[in-house]
Chain A
Amino acid sequence: MFDFKQTFSQLYDDYVEKIYRFVFIKVNSREIAEDLTSETFLRAWKRFQENKDKIRNHPAFFYQIARNLVTDYYRGKDKMKVIFAEYDQIVDPSINFEDKAVFNSDLEGVKKAISCLKDSYQEVIIWHYLDDLSIPEIADLSKKSEGNVRVNLHRALEALKKELTEIKKV
């Protein structure tokens, strides 16, 4: 039991930030992201106690639960994906006002653009560029071939560039 708790505690520390960011980008609300992330880890802990030895791929384990919860959130509540963000809570408070404004503008733009992408593009961008997962790790996580992941990543970047250009025009 002690070993279970210690192992899961370490996994929580390793993944809580990543899962929170993954969910936040998808739901655009700090409050909902907090609820869904805590539910992700509660469910993960229950499953972990039952099948500790069967869980080989920890990122896949956490992201799959988070992904299902986000899907349920939109499906169950019949929500539209609303694009807004609470940047005042995200940005480092030590940054001065002018820099903060520029930073917020860039952050808002990229955030908005990623939110407009389809789920598979969002995920491959988050995993590779934010969570620093390698192509083989993403392939393992998404149960796709490495070649497929590379193609997907390339297309995701193209789509994102297009979205950013569109946002700038507006």
Chain B
Amino acid sequence: MTEQELIQKIQLLKQIKPKEEWVISVKQRIFSETIELRKQSRFSEFINVINFMISRPVFKPALASLIVLGVFIGTYSFSQVALPGDFLYPVRKIVEKGRTFLASEHEKSAVQLGFANNRLEDLTKIAEANQGRSLAPAIEEFRQNAVEAAQNIARKDANINPKTVKEIAKAVKRLEENKEKVEKLGVVLGETEELDNALAALVEREIKDLKSRTLSEKQKIALVEAEKDFENKDYSGALEDILIISNE
């Protein structure tokens, strides 16, 4: 046998090949096991850190602080989706009160209107989930928020600047939309007289102020529209017109 013949015989072994489906499945397994291992190792790293902290007295205060922080964050997160009547709802109310307290004077009205909007969204969820028992406290919450917002808008010392008017206009528009949505679900909200009065006073004050200024033709047209909306008690529309004048 020549060397060439021998090499040819050796090269017959090139016929040895793995099955194609096996090649594909092994490749998939390699990469999927890696993802699984990474998940496991992250969890075990976390457990190791906790075990290490437990075993060292010096880390115990830090561990206790971490647990308290974890409980606090968890409670806060869950409370933000709590509905009126839920166990964690008072926490949500405390957080909202804190936000109102921290808001500047000219932001307060818009922040409170935002909360009134949140109540309307809660009401939509309650009505959709058919949770009859939570309906009455939720309506009461909405009315309370609306009254608080109204009181703030009506305050003579309320520092209402063009930016605040813009924020209030946006919140009032959203409020109208949310009210419509809730009422379509059969929920009777009743009148929000105090809020309407406060908005009427705000619109009237703004119109009066604009009338004393020199306006362009476009602004004059928008002012006429605002007056019409005011007469029709469409305060949301009137605020939008006032915004157009301010932005011109």
Residue numbers of A with Cβ under 8 A of B are: 5, 9, 12, 16-17, 20-21, 24-25, 33-34, 37-38, 41-42, 45, 49, 90-92, 103, 106-107, 109-111, 114, 125-126, 129-130, 157, 160-161, 164-165
Whether A21 contacts B26 in the complex (CB less than 8 A), given A5-B31, A110-B9, comes out as no
Smallest CB separation, B13 vs chain A (Å): 6
| Closest B residue, CB atoms, query A24 | B16
Smallest CB separation, B62 vs chain A (Å): 31
| Chain B, range 1-46, C-beta contacts under 8 Å to A | 1, 3, 6-7, 9-18, 22-23, 26-27, 29-31, 33-34
Which 5 pairs between the two chains have the least Cβ-Cβ distance? Answer: A20-B18, A38-B26, A129-B10, A110-B9, A21-B16
Residues in B with CB closer than 8 Å to A164 are 1, 6, 9
Q: Decide if A90 touches B15 in the complex (CB within 8 Å).
A: yes
Number of A-B contacts (CB under 8 A): 79
Residues in A with CB closer than 8 Å to B26 are 16, 34, 37-38, 41
Q: Please measure, in the bound complex, the distance between the C-alpha atom of A158 and the C-alpha atom of B31, giving whole angstroms.
A: 43
How many of chain B's residues have a CB under 8 angstroms from any CB in A?
A: 23
Q: Decide if B12 touches A129 in the complex (CB within 8 Å).
A: no
| Closest A residue, CB atoms, query B11 | A129
Q: Decide if A16 touches B9 in the complex (CB within 8 Å).
A: no
Q: Please measure, in the bound complex, the distance between the C-alpha atom of A10 and the C-alpha atom of B160, giving whole angstroms.
A: 66
Q: Decide if A9 touches B10 in the complex (CB within 8 Å).
A: no
Q: Decide if A110 touches B17 in the complex (CB within 8 Å).
A: no
Give the residue among B1, B3, B9, B16 with the most A Cβ atoms within 10 A: B16
Q: Decide if B15 touches A91 in the complex (CB within 8 Å).
A: yes
| Closest B residue, CB atoms, query A5 | B31
Q: Decide if A45 touches B10 in the complex (CB within 8 Å).
A: no
Residues in A with CB closer than 8 Å to B11 are 129-130
Q: Please measure, in the bound complex, the distance between the C-alpha atom of A24 and the C-alpha atom of B17, giving whole angstroms.
A: 9
Q: Please measure, in the bound complex, the distance between the C-alpha atom of A45 and the C-alpha atom of B3, giving whole angstroms.
A: 39
| Closest B residue, CB atoms, query A22 | B16
Whether A45 contacts B16 in the complex (CB less than 8 A), given A109-B9, A125-B10, A130-B11, comes out as no
Q: Decide if A21 touches B6 in the complex (CB within 8 Å).
A: no
Residues in B with CB closer than 8 Å to A129 are 7, 10-11
Residues in A with CB closer than 8 Å to B12 are 103, 106-107, 110
Q: Decide if B6 touches A17 in the complex (CB within 8 Å).
A: no
| Closest A residue, CB atoms, query B14 | A130
Q: Please measure, in the bound complex, the distance between the C-alpha atom of A151 and the C-alpha atom of B75, giving whole angstroms.
A: 76
| Closest B residue, CB atoms, query A12 | B27
Whether A160 contacts B10 in the complex (CB less than 8 A), given A41-B30, A42-B30, comes out as yes
Q: Decide if A34 touches B13 in the complex (CB within 8 Å).
A: no
Residues in A with CB closer than 8 Å to B16 are 20-21, 24-25, 90
| Closest A residue, CB atoms, query B23 | A16
Q: Decide if A110 touches B13 in the complex (CB within 8 Å).
A: yes
Q: Please measure, in the bound complex, the distance between the C-alpha atom of A142 and the C-alpha atom of B9, giving whole angstroms.
A: 24
Q: Decide if A37 touches B6 in the complex (CB within 8 Å).
A: no
Smallest CB separation, A6 vs chain B (Å): 11
| Closest B residue, CB atoms, query A39 | B26
Residues in A with CB closer than 8 Å to B17 are 17, 20-21, 90
Residues in B with CB closer than 8 Å to A45 are 30-31, 34
Residues in B with CB closer than 8 Å to A24 are 16
